Chain A
Amino acid sequence: MNMTDTNSSSTAAASAPGRRQGEVILDLQNISLRFGGVKALTDISFNIREHEVRAIIGPNGAGKSSMLNVINGVYHPQEGRIMFRGEERKKMEPHVAAQQGIARTFQNIALFKGMSVLDNIMTGRNLRMKCNIFQQALWLGPALREEIAHREKVEEIVDFLEIQHIRKTPVGALPYGLQKRVDLGRALAMEPQILLLDEPMAGMNVEEKQDMCRFILDISDQFGTTIVLIEHDMGVVMDISDRVVVLDYGKKIGDGTPHEVRNNQDVINAYLGSGH
């Protein structure tokens, strides 16, 4: 731990040890998204740097999930440009985003409920499997070796997330907190460049939240994955993120380090009401 970091807790989080902010990997320019007459996002610009933990926060209905779905390719903004590694990204399907190395988890958990934890995480390896349908159907050597190699990787993730004891359980039967963890595991199995987390802490108790925070920081430190995280609980976010974007009613009202954002008057108004 660096001595200067201990001066204030917010700057300590902003430059957490071992974390390096790299080049801009994703640059969102003047994004506007409408559903019919409803403006979900209005003229929003911000960027995401490599290796950082970038939080998008805001009250309910601020447009956080819409923003995530834009990044993920689920929604296509009517206006604005998305630059991925310096190149303008075309309109695309979510599975193409996955091919470009963007993985995500879901706010309401979208796991494959009938399948075991292992199978769920194995689906995250899908893109990295090269054998064709005939090799697989006939169980040829390459397909078997491939399956084993990927299974090893999945076991590493299972160990990392400390879910060894539920490996074979169908996820539908798991408690909520563990399902969230499996959801994270499946995204991790893709070895993504950018990991999008949609309210990873929502509905969790204090211990589960702490576990989740620990995993997020470990992922960032160990794998250097760029993490974009949505939360409406400010407390958690301030502790683990490098930079924070604040949305309110589909507009950007703040952007900067947790310390800067915390002292931004617009943000305070949005969260506490302008009467305070």
Chain B
Amino acid sequence: MGFFIETMLGGLMTGMLYALVALGFVLIFKASGVFNFAQGAMVLVAALAMARFSEWSNAALGGDSLFLANVIGIIGAGAVMFLVAWAVERFVLRKLVNQEGATLLMVTLGIAYVLEGLGQTFFGSEIYSINVGMPKDPVIMFEGLIEGGVMINKEDFIAAALAAVLVGGLTLFFQKTAIGRALRAVADDHQAAQSVGIPLNKTWVIVWCVAGLVALVAGIIWGSKMGVQFSLVTVALRALPVVILGGLTSVPGAIVGGLIIGVGEKLSEVYLGPFVGGGIEIWFAYVMALIVLLFRPQGLFGEKIINRV
């Protein structure tokens, strides 16, 4: 029993981290109708910037204050993400108003390569570490309830809590504020949004900034877990089935999708794995996404596609 709960909690926490990356996809899709393939590259760039800026400022400060170095790192990385958002709007999206979704999709592929290249040019392509003082030691909980207790990784727990707060805040921002409404309006119809006076340029910069911020948080968390290296890009690939499962347009969908896939992966690996020789974790998410697509093409929480004929 204790082991089962442990596996499940582990899954939930990993799921929350998937949700965090998935959130980046959903935000941009909601606000511009674009599936942003560059999200993974943004996570990488954000993590690289964070790692290097804090490393440099730590050296400059003589290693006295890791906290201060991290704050400078976060500010520096935030500035880089703002710059990315501004540049993407100024040099790419502005030229592509009212274009087909497929065109925009291909463009984000291009943006991904440019970001990966530039990021590594400026910040280097070694393996770096981010140390934001996350506690690494596991703790035993619920000892009174279950024999032997449940072992929880503190780092995962904090990361999951952070992700949950971010996700909740962004949901409210999108649903309850005037700017959130304007962002949704732009996603729905460029022309109509302009006709009521919503400036597309500003809106896109805001959205890409928010997505950059989410990428930064994801980059810091994943980066401090697995080290900052090129393979961070693949984190985005893990979030792909999450977005499909939860629905491209739904922030809560990203969370629930992340949790389902996180838990599903871990449980299936532990309980089904032995029968098929393991390795389930790698393909499980995609199969689940596929099954959902069969029954609900818009995902679990996506907006129902209404077509009048």
Instruction: Give the B-binding residues of A (Cβ under 8 A).
Output: 72, 74, 93-95, 98-99, 103-104, 106, 110-115, 119, 122-127, 129, 131, 133, 136-137, 139, 143, 146-147, 150, 170, 172-173, 176, 186-187, 189-190
Instruction: List chain A residues, Cβ under 8 A from B192.
Output: 106, 110-112, 186
Find out whether the CB atom of A112 lies under 8 angstroms from the CB atom of B195. no
Interface string of B178-213 (1 = CB under 8 A from A): 111110110011011111111110000010000000
Find out whether the CB atom of A119 lies under 8 angstroms from the CB atom of B181. yes
Find out whether the CB atom of A98 lies under 8 angstroms from the CB atom of B195. yes
A-B contact pairs, 25 of them (CB 8 A): A95-B195, A98-B194, A98-B195, A98-B197, A103-B195, A110-B189, A112-B184, A112-B185, A112-B192, A123-B193, A123-B196, A126-B178, A126-B181, A126-B182, A133-B179, A133-B206, A136-B177, A137-B179, A170-B303, A172-B306, A176-B308, A187-B195, A187-B196, A189-B196, A190-B197
Interface residues on B, range: 20 to 34
Once A110-B191, A173-B306 are accepted as A-B contacts, the answer to whether A103 and B196 lie under 8 Å apart by CB is yes
Instruction: List chain B residues, Cβ under 8 A from A129.
Output: 178
At the interface, yes or no: B108 with Cβ under 8 Å from chain A? Answer: no
Interface string of B157-179 (1 = CB under 8 A from A): 00000000000000001001111
Total A-B residue contacts, Cβ distance less than 8 Å: 100
In the complex, residue of chain A having the shortest beta-carbon distance to the beta carbon of B172: A139
Instruction: List chain A residues, Cβ under 8 A from B193.
Output: 112, 123
Find out whether the CB atom of B182 lies under 8 angstroms from the CB atom of A94. no
Q: In whole angstroms, what is the CA distance A190 to B179 when docked?
A: 16
In the complex, residue of chain B having the shortest beta-carbon distance to the beta carbon of A132: B179
Once A129-B178, A147-B178, A173-B306 are accepted as A-B contacts, the answer to whether A113 and B188 lie under 8 Å apart by CB is yes
- Which one of B176, B180, B188 contacts A112 once the chains associate, using CB atoms below 8 Å? B188
Instruction: List chain A residues, Cβ under 8 A from B188.
Output: 111-115
- CB of B171 to closest CB in A, whole Å: 12
Find out whether the CB atom of A114 lies under 8 angstroms from the CB atom of B184. yes
Instruction: Give the A-binding residues of B (Cβ under 8 A).
Output: 173, 176-182, 184-185, 188-189, 191-200, 206, 249, 303, 306, 308
5 more A-B residue pairs beyond the given contacts A98-B195, A170-B306, with a C-beta to C-beta distance below 8 A: A104-B195, A106-B191, A113-B188, A115-B181, A115-B184
Q: In whole angstroms, what is the CA distance A103 to B197 when docked?
A: 9
Once A131-B178, A133-B179 are accepted as A-B contacts, the answer to whether A112 and B189 lie under 8 Å apart by CB is yes
Find out whether the CB atom of B196 lies under 8 angstroms from the CB atom of A136. no
Q: In whole angstroms, what is the CA distance A115 to B184 when docked?
A: 8
- Which one of B179, B184, B195, B198 contacts A136 once the chains associate, using CB atoms below 8 Å? B179
- CB of A188 to closest CB in B, whole Å: 11
In the complex, residue of chain B having the shortest beta-carbon distance to the beta carbon of A98: B197
Instruction: List chain A residues, Cβ under 8 A from B189.
Output: 110-113
- CB of B13 to closest CB in A, whole Å: 27
Q: In whole angstroms, what is the CA distance A81 to B192 when docked?
A: 25
Find out whether the CB atom of B177 lies under 8 angstroms from the CB atom of A143. yes
Q: In whole angstroms, what is the CA distance A195 to B280 when docked?
A: 60
In the complex, residue of chain B having the shortest beta-carbon distance to the beta carbon of A133: B179
Find out whether the CB atom of A94 lies under 8 angstroms from the CB atom of B249. no
Find out whether the CB atom of B185 lies under 8 angstroms from the CB atom of A123. yes
